[in-house]
Amino acid sequence: MKRDFLNYKIAELSELQDDAKRKAIAYFHERITAFNPELNAFLEVLPLSANYSSGSLSGIPYALKDNILARGTRTTCASDILKDYISPYDATVTARLKAEGAVLMGKTNLDEFAMGSSTENSAFGPSKNPWDLNRIPGGSSGGSAAAVAAGLVPFALGSDTGGSVRQPAAFCGVVGYKPSYGLVSRYGLVAFASSLDQIGPLTRCVDDAYAVFKTIARKDINDATTINNGVNLKANDLPKIDLKGIRIAVPSDALDFEGLDERVKSRFLEFVERLTEKGAKVSFIELGILKYVVATYYLIAPGEASSNLSRYDGVRYGERVESENYEEMIKKNRDIGFGDEVKRRILLGTFTLSSAYYDAYYRRALKIRRIISDRINKVLQEHDFILNPTTPTLPGKIGEISDPLTYYLMDIYTIPANLAGMPAISVPIDPVDGLPVGVQFMGKRLSDLQLLSVAKEAEKLSGAYENGLAKLPERWLHV
């Protein structure tokens, strides 16, 4: 039987002969051209190119979230203020993928400056969920998730500040992985909240996530937060792990959260039962921090964002609107250039960093962050992994939610990993009413290989896969 390129893992695509690789690149380019007008997953599609070097990802097409730099391409961050900005250099992750032969196909849509949970906050229109075009793909890496879930590229990179890789992965039925903080360079990633941001891959299986992770992870002299020798990345394959005896903690307070959809909860508990049948030791524990994580995140992240985004003033970056004086010019530039969600977070961050309220809000949030981190570390001293639903809800309809707090709470299960710097991965499980559901494993800091290994075993218990790859919606199977 003739195999379609959609049925190949990354390792199999990289082993094709040169002629077949060129056909594969043309095949995915044709799919992007045909399907992107419906999905709005890409903000920029690059011309077809068959130039690639040898390496572990030789000839593998991929996409970059449009807040990651690739020399000569537009990097808009889905914002009007950067709509004409051309990247002058490659981000470290881009350069490393290029050196291993990966082929950049284009830049993907996002919530403006990665601020949002739906990809509705893009100045260039929302992306659509491939499983239901009336629904959101999640955010802020919604374009990257939609591109992978519709089979437009074998993998894409996103950035994860509070769950922005894992949440859209869950909504679109693909794998989303956030490495431990410090393993992947953020050089060339447009900063949102520097102490939380991390670049991670979206793929159709854990093996592919590992292949991308091995390529982009290691020390970078351009990013002082990266570390040496954190994880052994020399092995071709993930270490094998036996579910029998694995100690998994399930936070009962996550299951008691009033915003948790009963259908998501039911699927999650079915999956936990399968883990138990395979010999995993599952304990329901009281994590005790979930009610604090959203408030803590929305004091720290906007504070850092208000500082990071101060550079977009029409002088150093952004389109300039002429005015009578300097102050008026900056006000006009920022008012015209930024969308509502970005303005909301800059105002919130500026308020919490102000001298009158710094101790009352920001400093207190930093203390709570430490308490949250300590609690997670204590649980992970007694267990190998923490498991919970990736999101409390199914993907909502576009325009359905107008309350920002509702969107903020959609990240309640993913934020802890960012606050504590832990690795976490979302894996799709059996869908509900035709819509994807994801579960999240979180491990100890720098336990990335063990985390990926247990996620690979979890894939075998999921009904969301076929021949080792996450299923694609029927609508997108043929150009």
* pLDDT, tens digit, 9 for 90 and up, residues 229-264: 778 888 889 999 999 999 999 999 999 999 999 999
Structure confidence at residue 3 as a pLDDT band (50, 70, 90): low
Q: What does the pLDDT average to over 80-85?
A: 94
pLDDT at 463 over 70: yes
Task: Provide the angle, in degrees to the nearest 10, between the axes of the packed helices 448-459 and 206-216.
Answer: 160
Q: How do the domains of the chain map onto residue ranges? A: 5-240+387-476
5-240+387-476 domain in CATH 3.40.50.2000?
A: no
Residue 360: DSSP 8-state: I
Please check the confidence at residue 178 and state whether its pLDDT lies above 50.
yes
pLDDT digits (tens, 9 = 90+) for 205-224: 999 999 999 999 999 999 99
The yes-or-no verdict on residue 113 having pLDDT over 90 is yes
Q: What is the CA radius of gyration of the chain?
A: 21
Contact, 153 vs 105, CB < 8 A? yes
Beta-bridge partners for 250: 284
Q: In this structure, what token pair is assigned to residue 309?
A: 């985004």
Mean pLDDT calculated for residue range 456-476: 97
Q: Mean pLDDT throughout 177-202? A: 98
Identify the CA nearest to 334 among candidates 345, 322, 343. 343
Has residue 318 got a pLDDT over 80?
A: no
pTM of the predicted protein model: 0.97
Q: What is the pLDDT of residue 1?
A: 43
Q: Where in the sequence numbering do the catalytic residues fall? A: 65, 140, 164
pLDDT in tens, 340-393: 999 999 999 999 999 999 999 999 999 999 999 999 999 999 999 999 999 999
For strands 198-203 and 247-251, give the pairing.
unpaired
pLDDT higher than threshold 80 for residue 319: no
What pLDDT score does 233 carry? 87
Q: Is the confidence at residue 403, as pLDDT, over 90?
A: no
Contact at 8 Å (CB) between 178 and 424? yes
* Average pLDDT estimate for 296-304: 97
Q: Is the pLDDT of residue 68 over 90?
A: yes
Closest to 431 measured CA to CA, from 385, 398, 469, 473 = 473
Q: Is 278 exposed, middle or buried (0-12, 13-18, 19+ CB in 10 A)?
A: middle
Distance set, CA 373 to CA 253, 283, 416 (Å): 17, 20, 8
Q: Report which DSSP code applies to 184.
A: B
Peptide bond into 140 cis (omega under 30): yes
Q: Is the pLDDT of residue 313 over 90?
A: no
Token pair belonging to 136: 């959101």
Predicted pLDDT at 2:
53
Enclosing H/E stretch for 437: strand 435-442
What average pLDDT does the segment 60-82 reach?
Answer: 97
On the question of pLDDT at 50 being above 80, the answer is no
